[in-house]
Amino acid sequence: MAIQFTGLSSQSSIKNERAHKDEATGNTVGNQSAVKSGGTLAEDTVKLSGAAQSLHDQHAKISSLPDIDMDKVEQIKNAIAAGEYKIDTQKLASNMASMDHLF
């Protein structure tokens, strides 16, 4: 027993028909929320607060700095080579103790 359906079109032609209907009525899928009342596409904009702008500026400044302060490295190398580099053991111990809570 075979059933024959007539008048049915393929899925792609249904999509094409719907697109033509939407164009005729002015409804375009996906662009409805982006269309202004004048018929032009709205532009997305971002406005940063003062605090966010300040953070952005500070991040840009920090990003431009080198990771290693080579002048400081040279000063320490020269002090070690000359035997003049002194380690403050009290300060070192204090710093190590303050980092103990991290572990």
Residues 53-69: pLDDT tens digits? 899 999 999 998 888 99
Residue 21 lies in a domain: no
| Tokens, residue 35 | 């269309």
pTM of the model: 0.34
Per the structure, the count of domains in the chain is: 1
What CA–CA distance (Å, rounded) separates 60 from 57? 5
In a domain, 81, yes or no: yes
CB 46 within 8 A of CB 52: no
Q: Which structural domain range is residue 100 located in? A: 67-103
Would you say residue 18 lies in a domain? no
Q: Name the average pLDDT for the chain.
A: 76
Q: Phi then psi for 95, rounded to 5 degrees?
A: -65, -40
Q: Long-range contacts for 31-34 (Cβ within 8 Å, ≥24 apart)? A: none
Mind listing the pLDDT tens digit of every residue in the chain (103 residues)?
556 556 554 555 555 565 555 565 555 544 445 555 566 777 888 887 888 889 999 999 999 888 899 999 999 999 999 999 999 999 999 999 999 888 7
